[in-house]
Chain A
Amino acid sequence: MAVEMAYSELAAPVDLNHPGHYVHWGVVQISVANLVVIGLMVLVFVAAVLLPFPKGRGRR
């Protein structure tokens, strides 16, 4: 019992032991997990373009 509880506390926030969720859009079919990763990449890309970079030395 104690082992099971420890496992449940340490379990991943997303249950990977069941079929994933999918988004269907016409002929496009993509898992929610992959869609989240693509969304994160777009967010990080936009942030990298817009956020100022700390000033440093040794540049010309």
Chain B
Amino acid sequence: MSDSASPSGNATRDAKRVGGWTGAARRYAVRTLPPEKLLPDTQPAYMASWIYVFGVLTVSSLIVAVATGCVLALEGPGWWHASSVGKYVNSLHLWSVELFMFFMVIHLWGKFFMAAWRGRRAMTWMTGAVCFLASVGTAFTGYLVQQNFDSQWISGQAKDGLNAVGIGAWFNVLDFGQMLMWHIVLLPLVLGLLTAWHVLLVRRRGIVPPIDALAPEPDEQSAATAVQP
């Protein structure tokens, strides 16, 4: 007789079903991302290097870019082009993006030379790479919606390139409304979701050790439930 057909097996199966889909989702979330991994007390000693700082610098710059973008959306181009406060917030939006790309490229170099896809971290690497591509698209559409001669010139140049690869009729850089929606709705949504996924994967798998270092053993809190390789 199998275990699932026995009275104790039925009781175990019933216990697993408690709470319906919300209970199942909670159990999955806690199993996948236990609190001690989500918000750890300690980090491995090899994290004491400046090269591990650039991921959080990238996320910090992204938060400033999104926050200033929300203020720009509230007030509109008449404000960010004409008033002194508007110009200041517009500059904060630009320079936070400059720093975001700057830090993200150094983060990318650091993780590439560390072969950060090791130790079941392939999805962490891939979500980061797609984040980079989404960021390029978000920055590009941002340049197109400045509503000045600069954006007009950039879109005029870009249309030839995009027409040459055959997507100009669908992704029309001269269509201001379409570019604005890509910049403030679609691409930030994709970038936000991918960034959240990327950070959760970093928490789940842990930061990648340097190539000649050993990852630490699970600490006392998680040792009881850790699966030995």
Interface residues of A (CB under 8 A from B): 37, 40-41, 44-45, 47-49, 51, 53, 55-56, 58-60
6 tightest CB-CB pairs across the interface, nearest first? Answer: A48-B50, A53-B48, A48-B51, A59-B45, A60-B42, A58-B42
Q: What are 16 A-B pairs with beta-carbon distances under 8 A?
A: A40-B102, A44-B106, A45-B51, A45-B109, A48-B49, A48-B50, A48-B54, A48-B106, A49-B49, A49-B50, A53-B48, A58-B43, A59-B42, A59-B43, A59-B48, A60-B216
Interchain CA distance A44-B51 in the complex, whole Å? 10
Q: Does B14 contact A (CB under 8 A)?
A: no
Interchain CA distance A22-B172 in the complex, whole Å? 29
B219:A60 contact, CB within 8 angstroms: yes
In the assembled complex, the CB of B138 is this many whole angstroms from the nearest CB of chain A, namely 18
Interchain CA distance A53-B54 in the complex, whole Å? 13
In the assembled complex, the CB of A1 is this many whole angstroms from the nearest CB of chain B, namely 20
Q: Does B3 contact A (CB under 8 A)?
A: no
Instruction: Tell me which residues across on chain B come within 8 A of A59, comparing CB atoms.
Output: 42-45, 47-48
B102:A41 contact, CB within 8 angstroms: yes
Instruction: Tell me which residues across on chain A come within 8 A of B48, comparing CB atoms.
Output: 53, 55-56, 59
Taking CB atoms and an 8 Å cut-off, the chain B residues in 173-229 that contact chain A are: 216, 219
Q: Does B136 contact A (CB under 8 A)?
A: no
Instruction: Tell me which residues across on chain B come within 8 A of A51, comparing CB atoms.
Output: 50
Instruction: Tell me which residues across on chain B come within 8 A of A45, comparing CB atoms.
Output: 51, 106, 109-110
Instruction: Tell me which residues across on chain B come within 8 A of A37, comparing CB atoms.
Output: 102
A53:B50 contact, CB within 8 angstroms: yes
Instruction: Tell me which residues across on chain B come within 8 A of A53, comparing CB atoms.
Output: 48-50
In the assembled complex, the CB of A27 is this many whole angstroms from the nearest CB of chain B, namely 17
- 1/0 per residue B12-50: CB within 8 Å of A? 000000000000000000000000000001111101111
Instruction: Tell me which residues across on chain A come within 8 A of B106, comparing CB atoms.
Output: 41, 44-45, 48
Instruction: Tell me which residues across on chain A come within 8 A of B110, comparing CB atoms.
Output: 45, 48-49
Interchain CA distance A35-B42 in the complex, whole Å? 39
Interchain CA distance A47-B53 in the complex, whole Å? 12
Instruction: Tell me which residues across on chain B come within 8 A of A44, comparing CB atoms.
Output: 102, 106
